Chain A
Amino acid sequence: MTRVNDPSSNQDERLADFTERVLKGQAKEIDSNADQELRDLEETILRLNSTLPPASLDEAAAKQMLVRLKARVRKEGKSAKPSFWEKWFGVEWRSSLPRPQFGMAFAVIAMIVVLALLIPSLVTSGSPITATALTPSQNVTLVILLAGAILFIFWITRRK
């Protein structure tokens, strides 16, 4: 399992070691003994370290950022548009739904309820001859329209 003699493993070690030295400020230029490939990688590390030096944030700056963060949260809270449900029913339904899947489940249940209410009117009672009227096809259209409306409302309320 050991890869001691594996040249790539050796390169991994040397590059990691070089990185440690660069980040500790102990190496500021390419290791002259390295082979060309490793020298190229070392150059990339030096470039990364000089262009994107490690950042630090003092406590005062962090506090100021928290103050601005809270101000933004308050501002966004005040300017947030009420949702469809809140606007029309005075209830924030969606905030009480912890996951989007619950919203989808709600729409599916609503559809099942509508279908359950309407299906009995589609089934003709008595002789099949009496089922030749136009009423069933109108009901099917109604069901499709209602289902479409529910899905449309659901889609509208999910849009930002």
Chain B
Amino acid sequence: MENTFDTASDEVLIQHFKDGNEAAFDQLYYRHMPNVFKRVRYVIPENDVEDVTQEIFIAAMKSLPSFRGESQFGTWLRTLTNHKVAEFYRKRTRKQEPLLAPLSEASGKVDGSTSKAMEERVYLQKALHKLPENYQEIILLRFAEDLQFNEIAKLMGQNLEATKSLYRRAITALRNHLEE
């Protein structure tokens, strides 16, 4: 069944899912999961990446019936991802849980990284999270999703010059946060 959906557009798949075909959702998942995963992995501590990614797709599954196609599905999913990432940090702040697992848990290696590398990772992720939304977005689009500047410009509805200027301001802001 999945093969019949290989060439179907997102809109067609969404309609099939709304009509009760779960395989259509699987196809949407395989199509968009890599980008969601890359984005989440960029901003969420390693231990929570899969959990947050699952929450995004569960939320997508629940919200799809009311998706009206006013924006592209990819854009909608990107917004949902940002929302879930913000929720993750909000919950952590409320529970006052540290973003970094205790060193006893992290003493081994996760993905080949040492605990010091993990600390640096969390430090950078926290700095990224403090940036204004448009600064975070352009860094994520370039680094996490590996989009070219002209693709980012098109996505953001800006010209290339303005996009590169926004990018430089975003990196400057990140630098300032890292120096604090």
- List chain A residues, Cβ under 8 A from B92: none
For residue B133, CB closer than 8 A to chain A, the reply is no
Q: For residue A77, give the distance in angstroms from its CB to the closest CB of chain B.
A: 10
Verify A15–B168 contact, CB threshold 8 A.
yes
Alpha-carbon separation in the docked complex, A15 to B54 (Å): 35
B42 touches A12 (CB 8 A): no
On whether the beta carbons of B164 and A68 are closer than 8 Å, the reply is no
Interchain CB contact under 8 A, A69 and B57: yes
**Closest A residue to B146 using CB positions:** A54
A98 to B66, CA, bound (A): 7
Interface string of A26-59 (1 = CB under 8 A from B): 0000000000000011001101110110111100
Stretch at the interface among B71-79, B80-88, B97-105, B117-125: B117-125
What's the least CB distance linking A71 to chain B, in Å?
Answer: 10
Tell whether A117 is near chain B: CB-to-CB under 8 Å: no
Other-chain residue from A20, A54, A66 in contact with B144 (beta carbon distance below 8 A): A54
Q: Are B168 and A12 in touch, CB under 8 angstroms?
A: yes
In the complex, are the beta carbons of B120 and A44 less than 8 A apart? no
Residues 129-155 of chain B: 1 if any A CB is under 8 Å from the residue's CB, otherwise 0?
000000000010011101011000000
Q: How far is the CA of A44 from the CA of B61 in the complex (A)?
A: 37
Provide the bound-state CA to CA distance between A76 and B178, in Å. Answer: 40
- Are B34 and A57 touching (Cβ within 8 A)? yes
Residues of B within 8 A of A13 (CB): 164
Residue picked from A8, A65, A69, A99, most chain B C-beta under 10 Å: A69
Q: Given A41-B175, A72-B54, answer yes or no on A66-B167 (Cβ-Cβ < 8 Å).
A: no
> Could you say which of A8, A9, A16, A44 contacts B175, with CB atoms under 8 Å apart?
A44
Given A44-B175, A65-B33, A12-B167 contact (CB < 8 Å): yes
A3 & B37 in contact (Cβ 8 Å cutoff): no
Q: With the chains together, A55 CA to B36 CA distance in Å?
A: 11
Instruction: Say how far B150's CB is from chain A's closest CB, in angstroms.
Output: 10
Sample (8) of A-B pairs whose CB atoms are under 8 Å apart: A9-B161, A15-B171, A20-B149, A47-B124, A52-B42, A52-B121, A55-B42, A69-B57
User: Which positions in B face A, CB cutoff 8 Å?
Assistant: 26, 29-30, 33-34, 37-38, 41-42, 50, 53-54, 57-58, 61, 65-66, 117, 120-121, 124-125, 139, 142-144, 146, 148-149, 161, 164-165, 167-168, 171-172, 174-175, 178
4 A-B pairs closest in CB distance: A12-B164, A55-B41, A16-B164, A44-B175
